[in-house]
Amino acid sequence: MNRIWNLCCLTGAAFFALAAPAMAQEGGSLISFSGAFGAGIVMLGAGFGIGRIGAAAVESMARQPEASGDIRGGMILAAALIEGATFFALIVCLAA
């Protein structure tokens, strides 16, 4: 996880360092941060979040099979809340 975080930070730093000269030009910029860019970030975050919830739920069910019903219900509820927030953020990104 630490290696992925370092790679994401390095990519973001390089992106912003290279975007600064393009945005400093007169007459507009070469880079357009549209709603689609924000929507993509939202979807990536939701995918990672739901993936972590699923992995933790399956591991918990393997350790305590007798509690699998409660764990499954909690997992579905958490995934539904994440999806709701994701759809709201998606609508906000595309409407702006």
pLDDT digits (tens, 9 = 90+) for 66-77: 999 999 999 999
Nearest CA among 92, 90, 58, 95 for reference residue 74: 58
CATH number, residue 76:
1.20.20.10
User: Whole domain around residue 88: which residue ranges?
Assistant: 34-96
Answer for the pair 71, 50: CB distance below 8 angstroms, yes or no. Answer: no
Report helix, strand or coil for 33.
coil
The pLDDT tens digits for 8-45 are: 887 877 776 666 555 555 655 555 667 777 788 888 88
Question: What is the total count of domains within the chain?
Answer: 1
Instruction: Reply yes or no on whether the pLDDT at 58 is more than 90.
Output: yes
Q: Which helix (H) or strand (E) covers residue 92, if one does? A: helix 68-95
- Sign of the dihedral through C-alpha 21, 25, 31, 35: positive
In a domain, 29, yes or no: no
Which pLDDT belongs to residue 20? 57
